[in-house]
Amino acid sequence: MISWNNLDASKAFAHLQTLRNRVCLPEVLSGEEGAKRVRKASVPMAAGLSYNYAAKAVDEKVLDALCDLAKETQLTEKFAALYNGEVINTGEKRKVLHHLTRGQLGEAVVADGVDKREFYLSQQERVAEFADAVHSGKITNEAGETFTTVVQIGIGGSDLGPRAMYLALENWAKQNGSFYMEARFISNVDPDDAAQVLRSIDVSRSLFVLVSKSGTTLETLTNEAFVKDALKKAGLDPARHMVAVTSETSPLASSKEYLAAFFMDDYIGGRYSSTSCVGGAVLSLAFGPKVFGRFLEGAAAEDVLAKEPDPRKNPDMLDALIGIYERNVQNWPATAVLPYSQALSRFPAHLQQLDMESNGKSVNRFGEKVDYVTGPVIFGEPGTNGQHSFYQLLHQGTDIIPLQFVGFKKNQAGMDVDIQGTTSQQKLCANVAAQIMAFACGKKAEDPNKSFAGGRPSSIIIGEQLTPEALGALLAHFENKVMFQGFVWNLNSFDQEGVQLGKVLAKRVLSHDTDGALRVYSDLMGI
Amino acid sequence: MISWNNLDASKAFAHLQTLRNRVCLPEVLSGEEGAKRVRKASVPMAAGLSYNYAAKAVDEKVLDALCDLAKETQLTEKFAALYNGEVINTGEKRKVLHHLTRGQLGEAVVADGVDKREFYLSQQERVAEFADAVHSGKITNEAGETFTTVVQIGIGGSDLGPRAMYLALENWAKQNGSFYMEARFISNVDPDDAAQVLRSIDVSRSLFVLVSKSGTTLETLTNEAFVKDALKKAGLDPARHMVAVTSETSPLASSKEYLAAFFMDDYIGGRYSSTSCVGGAVLSLAFGPKVFGRFLEGAAAEDVLAKEPDPRKNPDMLDALIGIYERNVQNWPATAVLPYSQALSRFPAHLQQLDMESNGKSVNRFGEKVDYVTGPVIFGEPGTNGQHSFYQLLHQGTDIIPLQFVGFKKNQAGMDVDIQGTTSQQKLCANVAAQIMAFACGKKAEDPNKSFAGGRPSSIIIGEQLTPEALGALLAHFENKVMFQGFVWNLNSFDQEGVQLGKVLAKRVLSHDTDGALRVYSDLMGI
């Protein structure tokens, strides 16, 4: 029997509150004991990744209390309820089934009269068939030429996740893939976004993927019209250049204006849709269906690990719980995500949506105001770039910002250069190791301006190389982390009512149905 | 006589502390009074921009107290001392002269035996001459072909600012400029960054701008070697494809390995160098020297406004002071920067460095620990993209995050489309107006999950169009804002000692001079 209770109703949480500021990182990471701590604190993830939390400010007592919290808040049971098809998104009365896009974790889930795992798989196969036909030249443009570019038109989860995944594998695919087709993305309603993309591609050889679950997203429909206009002006037939990714009930589903339509449904939230055909269409077109399949395998394997009830062996749950300790016991308001991999340049932007849109909420799943803080601010840029930018504040600012590093031993492109006796990749790897210790242990200096207090906690996810499998595991890790944190906070992590009011008011501005301050702001903006 | 005192030594600050939570935004922005408030709270900026703070949670009493604080902390006098050449960067014993790269604000400043305004101007002219020679085909590659691409190699301030400025004007230049040359950027020591850029350009027709003030930045020298390697492999002579931007005393200054060298000096911090030849070389090559000149004019005009002693008439100082109120009285730990302009997609990343590296410090300018919080976390993405991402937390999360909007009435590219009776640009503008009111005033609903508490403060900078002048004014606004905040906090905003420890430790890792935990982390990373 599952009970959905607020965090502050938990005994384990009351105990946890007594365990504040227990760990002095410069102490626990010093000497041979420090070395042991780092060796011990690695938890295996899927695809050869591992999660190391040695530089997090937790000790065995804190971990024990977090394990108690996991048990008391029934994290494993709640996850099982979710993947077995319970209506976890209570506000919108929906199941939450993104895990089924990559594997069957539990019982068969039937909804709308179909087995949902089979449904998602069938869409994945339809996308694969279509992508193969494009690649082999069975599907071409009006002139019989192959398509060379794929352009995703979507916003939010239809943009950030797929874009981050594309950038993450672009170099890898050029080096290792059997196939590579350039992808571009149009998202913003700012017409300069579409203009910029359209000016830099050959529209006659471009295939556009229109992504909107409802088929009514204003930004996306506007950009579709923008693109169709450009196609027509170039003397092309839009219906031969566009596919739709949408729900079966949307107006786009059976339109003749598209070469094909691929389906998702209401059980896949936008920010959780990278492994559905929202990510699948553009990624299968760009890299080939096999590479997309490998990405899904990595995610599926990480999901299986997330079923483990012991947090010390479950990297997703452990990461979530340490985050709760940092947010609700240590009261740190932000978390920085710092991948030491240029390929992950937009991964922090995806996590920003994933985390902040899921858990940036003030009411629990029953609509009652909670009396504790929930989702933190998430931000980040790739290292080493960040080192030459905002790391100053992370090292010596007045607030402590917990850090989440990601690093790989090998680079993707297979090009490197030896300078001063080491390769670029070695320098990259040396920097992330150095930063962890610099943040945790600091360094005293006579000049206080050159002193580092240390005590700035971090974890790191380490892999051999950013392969499709590793990327899938990484994505699933964070999805599951956010899900577990939502369970602990007793939130519905799968709706986003906070985005509605702005939409309503924007419509009023556009129809000149405003007065007072909103009228003046509209005037100032020239509307 | 200037006194450098801590914020908590100030009488005005003590008074300000009694003025917490005074303003209920839904109240003050309602009805006709609300409309008046918005009309009244606009402060003119340069280049036709204006700063509107009607939706900030301040009233006349708070503003009066902030004006007292500005006077007591001698903001105008300190700014004058800075532009008249006092050694404001005390830690490094340097003057702070980036304002002189765009205009003469006060007395002539002589250093190293030269008039510094003349020096910066002469470098700007040398860059202009060089750019004109490249554009006219006087300077070509080995085969006598013109250069088509310029690639900046630099990191931190040599990357983020120039890159953000380039992206900000790319569409504008294509539409309005007399000249356009594609620019790319290599920054990360991750070899995949350079590989990605080199694979996507024609190196034989590319000109590389190597930017390193000291001539010793490891990432940049490594990427230079990477690029030279690629040029040689393509049978090209690197010396015919590279220019250097550096200080006159650096090893790069007189090297024969460059077509030319352009100079900056120690008085221009990296994050303040976009208006020096660090930004000037790449921007003059990309858009032509005239466009770069217009950008400088906008910045210079905003600097003049920053001299105004009355904060109510000084948009840079007022923005700074309201930020102090939000950080040190309201205790809000982060600020989101939200430009409603796709062209400003990397502007928040630049501000992240500018602000967090300048004021993310715990000791005052004398090296004494301060007892108040300083620089906040800065993050952001362009609207409307952010609306479909992290705005959920901004609207309904448990923490209040102050917001800084930027918007323009006209887009840059001159392409647009009419859908449902309005253009994309109108939708964009309607959204930012709507968001300000949604954040400030919220909306009660029967379902608490659909309720918005409001009370989330924002300001907006509004302009006609993002022109070179407007961009210059925008950049200078934030530079001056950060400077004034540094004065209030009594910090040295112009050094960055917090980046040193990581560098030292990374070198130790690379030379295998490690033990304990750092040894184990290095092992885990394969070093």
Q: In residues, how long is chain B? A: 527
Amino acid identity of A294? R
In the predicted model, is pLDDT for residue A179 greater than 90? no
Reading the block at residue A95, the tokens are 């199941």
**Rounded to 5 degrees, what are φ and ψ at A254?**
-120, 15
β-strand partners of A211: A245
pLDDT tens string B18-61: 999 999 999 999 999 999 999 999 999 999 999 999 999 999 99
Q: What does the radius of gyration of chain A's CA atoms come to, in whole angstroms?
A: 24
Contacts of B448 in chain A (CB under 8 A): 363, 367-369
The whole-angstrom distance between B107's CA and the closest CA on chain A is 31
Residue A511: the pLDDT is 95
Positive or negative, the CA dihedral A115, A118, A124, A130 is negative
- Taking the C-alpha atoms of residue B400 and residue B379, their distance in angstroms, rounded to an integer, is 14
Q: Assign residue B202 the CATH number of its domain.
A: 3.40.50.10490
The pLDDT, as a whole number, for residue B217 is 87
CB atoms within 10 A of CB A313: 12
- Tally Cβ neighbours within 10 Å of residue B310: 12
At A242, give phi and psi (nearest 5°): -135, 140
Residues A343, A453 within the same domain: yes
- Closest approach of A250 to chain B, Cα-based (Å): 18
CB–CB contact B517 A388 (8 Å): no
Is there a contact between A462 and B225 if contact means CB atoms under 8 Å apart? no
Q: Based on the domain organization, do A448 and A417 belong to the same domain?
A: yes
Is the domain of A394 the same as that of A301?
yes
Nearest CA in chain B to A34: B517
Rg, chain B, Cα only: 24
Q: Are residues A222 and A332 in the same domain?
A: no
Question: A interface mutation test: which of B30, B36, B346, B390 has the most A CBs within 10 A?
Answer: B390
Of A168, A160, A275, A260, the C-alpha closest to A207 is A260
Average pLDDT value for residue range B260-269? 96
What's the DSSP call for residue B200? T
Tell me which chain A residues have a C-beta less than 8 angstroms from the C-beta of B430: 506-507, 509-510, 522, 525, 527
Question: Does residue A177 sit within a domain?
Answer: yes
**A247, A272, A295 — which closes off a domain?**
A295
Same domain, B307 and B434: yes
Asked which of A217-221, B319-323, B474-478 is least confident by mean pLDDT, the reply is A217-221
Please compute the mean of the pLDDT values over residues B217-226 and round it to a whole number: 92
Average per-residue pLDDT in chain B? 97
Task: Say if residue A279 is in the same domain as residue A150.
Answer: yes
pLDDT, one tens digit per residue, over A412-436 is: 988 898 988 999 999 999 999 999 9
* Residue of B203, B503, B524 best to disrupt the A interface, most CBs of A under 10 A: B524
Kindly state whether residue A1 falls inside one of the protein's structural domains: no
Residue B122 distance to chain A (closest CA, Å): 28
**Considering A244, A276, A295, which residue would you say is the last residue of a domain?**
A295
B476 with B401, same domain? yes
Q: Identify from A400, A501, A505, A507 which residue to disrupt to test chain B contact, counting B C-beta atoms within 10 A and taking the largest count.
A: A501
Asked whether residue A110 falls in the same domain as residue A30, the answer is no
- Domain membership of residue B517 (yes or no) is yes
Question: Does any domain span residue B2?
Answer: no
Give domain status of residue B107, yes or no.
no
B265 and B361 in a single domain? The answer is: no
CA distance B238 to chain A (A): 16
Name which of B29, B342, B526 is nearest A193 (Cβ-Cβ): B342
CA atoms within a 13 Å half-sphere pointing along the CA-CB vector of A264: 33
Asked whether residue B432 falls in the same domain as residue B456, the answer is yes
Q: What is the pTM of this model?
A: 0.97
For residue B239, how many other CB atoms are within 10 A of its CB? 13
Question: pLDDT (tens digit, 9 = 90+) per residue, B126-184?
Answer: 999 999 999 999 999 999 999 999 999 999 999 999 999 999 999 999 999 778 999 99
**B314 vs B306: CA distance, rounded Å:** 6
Using the beta-carbon criterion (under 8 Å), do B396 and A453 form an inter-chain contact?
Answer: no
Count: domains in chain B: 3
Which pLDDT value is given to residue A177?
Answer: 79
Instruction: Decide if A360 is inside a domain.
Output: yes
Q: Is A388 a catalytic residue?
A: yes
Domain boundary among B250, B270, B296: B296
On whether residue B104 sits in a domain, the answer given is no
Residues A489 and A436 in one domain: yes
Residue partners of A501: CB distance under 8 A and separation at least 6? B395, B438, B442, B443, B452
pLDDT of residue A203: 97
Is residue B263 a contact partner of residue B123, using CB atoms and an 8 Å limit? yes
From the list A195, A397, A492, the residue facing B171 with the nearest CB is: A195
Please list every residue in chain B whose beta carbon sits closer than 8 Å to the beta carbon of residue A334.
Answer: 333-334, 377
B503 tagged catalytic: yes
How far apart are the C-alpha atoms of A352 and A381, rounded to whole Å? 11
Judge whether B103 lies within some domain.
no
Q: Give catalytic status of residue B357 as yes or no.
A: yes
* Percent of chain B topping pLDDT 70: 100
| Residues A86 and A116 occupy one common structural domain | no
Q: Which domain holds residue B198?
A: 112-296
Round to whole Å and give the CA distance between B245 and B224: 13
